[in-house]
Amino acid sequence: MSDTMVVTDLDRTLIYSNSAMDVRVPDADAPTLVTAEFHEGKPLSFLTLAAAQLIWRLPADVLVPATTRTVKQYRRISLPRPPGRYAVTSNGGTILIDGRPDIRWTAQVRRDIAAAADGAEILGRLMPLTEQGWVRSVRSADELFYYLVCERADGYPDGFIDELAEWCAAREWRISVQGRKVYTLPVHLKKSAAVQRVRELAGTCRLLAAGDGALDADVLEMADAAIRPRHGELWEQGWQHPGVTLTDSSGILAGEEMVRWYAAELGVS
């Protein structure tokens, strides 16, 4: 494996749904797209052709996805090159090595988060919300954390996010708002811990990273160099950190810009 590892978030960083594309160019200049995900036979997520071509030229095994998606959701993704040896899913709750969960890592994570409130208490707070018209469903992510799927982004009542964040913090959980989804997670469930473990397993010394959400911030902070897009939760929060570059573009064109940044950092043209 290369002595550099590129850790990338997936949704709204590397791949984009129709609602997240935000293409701000004339239709005639819109980028050609490559499908990165199908769900129930329908195309769901995309990246630009230019990004796909660059990903194909990256060194083998250098790209390590680090996503809040569950293992099942992650396995729907098909990037334009064979999967690398490592991936981080479930916001750090699972490390995949050659496609298989590292059972010892998962057991360690569950021990680490055991001090926080258990899932039953969190579900007890979230499930009644499904009786209100603005919540579509409450979902479990590998029994590690839970999230609301709202009918639309920003469709929750005034004050709800702050109230839920305060309630969760008292139980050693935190929240993250990503479009129509409101995540609730134990505070000790972090991508950065899993990324550090992968870094040790791979024997890499240089870490590059990209991500758009608050759940990516710890990975961006630990990287030797990082980039984030001009959209998403971190953009809305005005988050900054030394060594983290901001894209010029937003939407799927920011995704392409970030892949160009990976390639430049790796000396790939």
The 10s digit of each residue's pLDDT in 101-160 is: 999 999 999 999 988 888 999 999 999 999 988 999 999 998 899 999 998 887 889 899
Whether residue 175 sits in one domain with residue 75: no
* Residues in the chain where the model's pLDDT stays below 50: none
pLDDT for the residue numbered 62 = 94
Residue after which a domain boundary falls, among 186, 207, 241: 186
**179 and 193 inside one domain:** no
Say whether both 99 and 209 belong to one domain: yes
Note the pLDDT of residue 156: 85
Residues 212 and 154 in one domain: no
CB–CB of 166/174 below 8 Å? Answer: no
Instruction: Say what the pLDDT of residue 245 is.
Output: 97
Give the structural domain span for 209: 4-111+189-266
Domain of 60: which CATH number?
3.40.50.1000
pLDDT of residue 1: 52
On whether both 145 and 43 belong to a single domain, the answer is no
- Are 55 and 179 in a shared domain? no
Residues 41 and 159 in one domain: no
> Which of 186, 205, 225 finishes a domain?
186
Distance, CA of 32 to chain centre: 23
Domain shared by 214 and 96, yes or no: yes
pLDDT at 60: 86
Q: Say if residue 132 is in the same domain as residue 63.
A: no
**What pLDDT does 117 receive?**
84
242, 153: one domain: no
Q: How many domains, in total, are found in the chain?
A: 2
- pLDDT for 116 equals 85
